[in-house]
Amino acid sequence: MIRLTDRIHTIAKWLAALALLTMMALTFTDVNLRYWLGQPILGSNEMTEFLLGTVVFSGLVIVTGERSHIVVTLFERLLMRRIPGTYRWLGIGTNVAGIVAVTYLIANYTVFMHGQGNETEIRHWDWWWLGTLMSILAALSIPMAIRAVRSPLKGFEMEETGRGDDGGGPERGLPPRDPI
């Protein structure tokens, strides 16, 4: 599983980089053609939407594997003092459950869009294939989340004393955090 998730992580990074590069080139070209020649690229907004969806859901795979989601630490001190073991597993369980729920909802909506025959207005592309890509990328985040529980990606290991200056660790009078 470790080799597989390492490969998934690498592919997701390349996919996100390629989609972002394409989106930047498309936007640059579209703006210049619109400004200088008065003829924008037909359907460029639709293409940008598809590319943005690819970047966002590739990013989900990446941040899940690196355990670099945004963390809200409002109640962290209180919970770490009161229920340190439960707090760690609550975070892990919430992460995995959230990703499973997102995958389910996107896959369900994709099936609905396919049944409705929804398509873009200008290029007449079917929306369901973008939903399929997003569903696949969200589903690939599930093994990344499971792997990140015990075996983080190389170069993304957390230190035992906390995650930096976000308010945790022994320097703030709290017990050292387990890397989650």
- The domain limits of the chain are 2-159
Least confident of 88-92, 121-125, 167-171, 175-179: 167-171
**Tokens 């294939």 map to which residue?**
129
Supply 101's token pair: 């729920």
Please, what is the angle between helix 84-116 and helix 128-150, to 10°? 160
Helix ranges (DSSP H) in 33-169:
44-66, 76-82, 84-116, 128-150
Whole-angstrom Cα distance, residue 5 to residue 1? 6
Structure confidence by residue, pLDDT tens digits, 92-107:
888 899 999 999 999 9
The pTM is what?
A: 0.78
Query: What pLDDT, on a 0 to 100 scale, did the predictor assign at position 90?
Result: 84
- Report whether pLDDT(179) > 70: no
Whole-angstrom Cα distance, residue 22 to residue 20? 5
For the chain, the helix, strand and coil percentages under 3-state DSSP, each to the nearest 5:
70, 0, 30
Residue 33, number of CB atoms within 10 A of its CB: 14
Within 8 A by CB and 6+ apart from 104, the residues are none
**Tokens 């890397």 map to which residue?**
179
Please name which of 63, 65, 72, 48 lies closest in space to residue 125, comparing C-alpha atoms: 48
* Average pLDDT of the chain to the nearest whole number: 84
Supply 91's token pair: 């975070």
- Report whether pLDDT(150) > 90: no
**Which residues share a beta bridge with 126?**
119
